[in-house]
Amino acid sequence: MTYTNLGRTGLKVSRLCLGTMNFGPRTEERDAFAIMDKALEAGVNFFDTANVYGGEGRRGWTEEIVGRWFAQGGGRREKVVLATKVYNPMDEPNDGPNEGRFLSLYKIRRHLEASFKRLQTDHVELYQMHHIDPDLSWEECWGAFEPLVNQGKVDYIGSSNFAARHICYAQAAAAKRNFLGLVSEQHKYSLNCRLPELELLPAAKELGLGVIAWSPLDGALLSGAILNPAPGSRSEQRAKNLSAEDRARLTEYAKLCKDLGESEANVALAWMLANPAITAPIIGPRTLRQFEDSLRAVEIKLSGEALKKLDDIFPGPGGAAPQAYAW
């Protein structure tokens, strides 16, 4: 495994981030334990979760599984750079009007303490706002997060699904407080979803934020399973909705990967790892085999010719704004 700094911090994280969203709803606890054990063995020290993972009626389930894995001891908690999130409502029936899809000092404090109980820990390395709350003032936002850092409950603050302008507003407000502010942005990005190259990636790079890419395989579109899906699988349903243009693009992509001698999934991850703006893509394995297969991505070094062919198959927006469209 290789490592890099999380944004401009001194924190070292693995180039692959283990996403836990499948743990519980799609991956049994014993299998989730096996994946996490294998992750540590392989040098993957960066784990991402969220308080709502587990699904409707079972929100918090995934954090509970991770917590029970930590409770086994053996240095598990000490070896993991743990990231979780806050924003969405939980399933508690009596939480009242302060449990909607938004943030507040009141909610952030309560949800962090609840995550601690589920995760069986007293701190997290990275606490992320799952979405932007346009009605929350940055004075209140940083007034909520800054004490958590000062108290040692949280090491760093990150965002997720923010626009570039939101990151700029956040950092300007943090600077006025002499506070570090955001250190990372978790964002949807893949060969098939390259809009972040216009604004988000350049802004994050200039401001020193690490970018953690979610859905790097675009919901299994780039996994190699869409063109020949298993009967009854989610891929089968998505395959039925493919346009002729998408099918042709994926067919060309599959041929290129075959010529490279690598799987479609690992080429998609290797393409992302070649981008200096990306800290780590989030891999979300359902099985131990899927996790083990993804480790190969770190070893793949795509040639300039291969990168050019990938750009031809999945053309991006043309670079950063405004040069991409203004001249």
State the catalytic residues: 53
CA atoms of 46 and 251, how far apart (whole Å): 33
Instruction: Measure Cα distances from 166 to 81, 94, 113, 194, 319 in Å.
Output: 25, 32, 26, 19, 20
Q: Are strands 12-14 and 3-5 parallel, antiparallel or unpaired?
A: antiparallel
Radius of gyration, alpha carbons of the chain: 20
Percent of the chain exceeding pLDDT 90 equals: 87
Q: Which residue has the tokens 């690490």?
A: 210
Given a cut of 90, whether residue 230 has pLDDT beyond it is no
For residues 132 and 162, is the Cβ–Cβ distance under 8 A?
Answer: yes
pLDDT tens digits for range 99-151: 778 899 999 999 999 999 999 999 999 999 999 999 999 999 999 999 999 99
Given a cut of 90, whether residue 261 has pLDDT beyond it is yes
Ramachandran sector of residue 120 (left: φ over 0; alpha: ψ -120 to 50; beta: rest): left
Tell me the HSE value of 157 on the side-chain side, using a 13 A CA sphere: 22
pLDDT tens digits for range 61-96: 999 999 999 999 999 999 999 999 999 988 776 667
Residues counted in the chain: 327
pLDDT at 101: 82
pLDDT at 56: 84
Eight-state DSSP code of residue 8: T
CA atoms of 98 and 103, how far apart (whole Å): 9
Q: What is the DSSP string of 141-187?
A: HHHHHHHHHHTTSEEEEEEES--HHHHHHHHHHHHHTT---EEEEEE
Residue type for 6, please?
L
Q: Does an H or E element contain 260, and which?
A: helix 244-260
Given a cut of 70, whether residue 220 has pLDDT beyond it is yes
Q: What is the DSSP string of 173-238?
A: HHHHTT---EEEEEEE-BTTB-GGGTTHHHHHHHHT-EEEEE-TTTTTTTTT-SSSPPTTSHHHHH
List the CATH code of the domain at 3-222+264-302.
Answer: 3.20.20.100
- 50-54, 56-60, 70-74 — which is least confidently predicted? 56-60
pLDDT at 95: 65
Calculate mean pLDDT across residues 170-190.
98
Calculate the dihedral angle through the C-alpha atoms of 144, 147, 149, 152, rounding to the nearest 10 degrees: -130
pLDDT at 233: 77
pLDDT tens digits for range 276-298: 999 999 999 999 999 999 999 99
Question: What residue ranges do the domains of the chain occupy?
Answer: 3-222+264-302
Instruction: Measure Cα distances from 206 to 159, 164, 213 in Å.
Output: 16, 11, 17
Instruction: Measure Cα distances from 87 to 121, 148, 199 in Å.
Output: 20, 16, 24
Q: What is the distance between the terminal CA atoms of the chain, rounded to a whole angstrom? A: 41
